[in-house]
Amino acid sequence: MTYSVIETERDGSVLLVRLNRPERLNAYNLEMYDDLLRVYDEADADDGVRVVVVTGNGRAFCAGADLEKAGATFARDPGDEPHRDSGGMLNLRTYEFSKPVIAAINGPAVGVGATMTLPMDIRLAVDTVKMGFVFARRGIVADGCASWFLPRVVGISKALEWTMSGRVFGAAEALEAGLVRSLHPADELLPAAMELAREIAENTSAISVTMNRQLMWRMLGADHPMAAHEVESRALGVIGGTPDAKEGVESFLEKRPARYPGKVPADLPDFYPWWPDRQFRALP
């Protein structure tokens, strides 16, 4: 597929996505938003894609929103339709995605460049990375549904510290807070991310991974563990009789690598998705 400001390549069942505006430090714009939506839509429909890895070309992951309009960057005409944050729409799409997404943060990731990684499932970073939720230093509020995602990733106190101060912080702080899973020298970052992606893709049931991904994310907002018990019980009752479950047990007992036949999306259970679609409602 051809895209405007990203590049993609396949490594077996892993799809590598590179943000590709290196001359602008991969600054986020509407073309990048459109391209990433297309990638997620196409990868969701392709049962050959098991895992997506996202990184940046050049020396940055994403330096935030493109500020080419200077002080008018975030201005909106009061007569326009109710505004929707494109970073938020992108992250809602990532949240709905059926397959694991790994961020390989190869350089500076600030503003939307940081928030776009929050609904990704695992984040690895270069050991010199600089990150920041800098919105308060630009006179705006956080984007990308960050007020929902960030406290769930690092806790409310650290999320408030970072968003209220707007300061840029380094790799050690990102690791200590749990924002990133691990730090790597620049030349080892992408190999580590791809190795993790292949570990998932080559050793697990695609159906199990999809179900577990959505169970974990959805239950973050549940009001009682009974919500998890209800969905897990239904899933176990349905999936327990599938060829994937049979293969998982038999391969374990026979001490051999599993060969799971199930595909995503083709073989997901009939009740997936089990959650109602949430519609946008503009506030007055």
- What residue type is assigned to position 37 of the chain? L
Say what percent of the chain tops pLDDT 70: 95
Say what percent of the chain tops pLDDT 90: 92
pLDDT tens digits for 220-244?
Answer: 999 999 999 999 999 999 999 999 9
Tell me what pLDDT residue 71 has: 47
pLDDT tens digits for 36-58?
Answer: 999 999 999 999 999 999 999 99
Q: In the Cβ-directed half-sphere of 169, how many Cα atoms lie within 13 Å?
A: 20
Tell me what pLDDT residue 72 has: 52
Alpha-carbon distances of 139 from 75, 165, 168, rounded to whole Å: 11, 12, 15
DSSP letters for 85-129: -HHHHHHHHHHH-SS-EEEEE-S-EETHHHHTTTTSSEEEEETT-
User: Peptide bond before 151: cis, by omega within 30 degrees of 0?
Assistant: no
Provide CATH 3.90.226.10 ranges for the chain.
6-201
Residue closest to 212 by CA, chosen among 235, 237, 196: 235
Alpha-carbon distances of 172 from 167, 185, 190, 232, rounded to whole Å: 14, 13, 19, 36
Q: What share of the chain is helix, strand, coil (3-state, %, to 5)?
A: 45, 15, 40
Max Cα separation, the chain? 67
d(CA 219, CA 199): 25
pLDDT tens digits for 240-284?
Answer: 999 999 999 999 999 999 999 999 999 999 999 999 999 999 988
Q: Which residue has the tokens 């098991």?
A: 50
d(CA 140, CA 226): 38
pLDDT tens digits for 148-207?
Answer: 999 999 999 999 999 999 999 999 999 999 999 999 999 999 999 999 999 999 999 999
Q: Which fold has domain 6-201?
A: 2-enoyl-CoA Hydratase; Chain A, domain 1 (3.90.226)
Residue closest to 52 by CA, chosen among 197, 184, 182: 197
pLDDT surpasses 70 at 14: yes
3-state secondary structure of 62: strand
Tell me what pLDDT residue 2 has: 87
d(CA 65, CA 70): 11
- How confident is the model over 91-120, as a mean pLDDT? 98
Average confidence score pLDDT of the chain: 95
| Per-residue pLDDT band at 79 (split at 50, 70, 90) | low
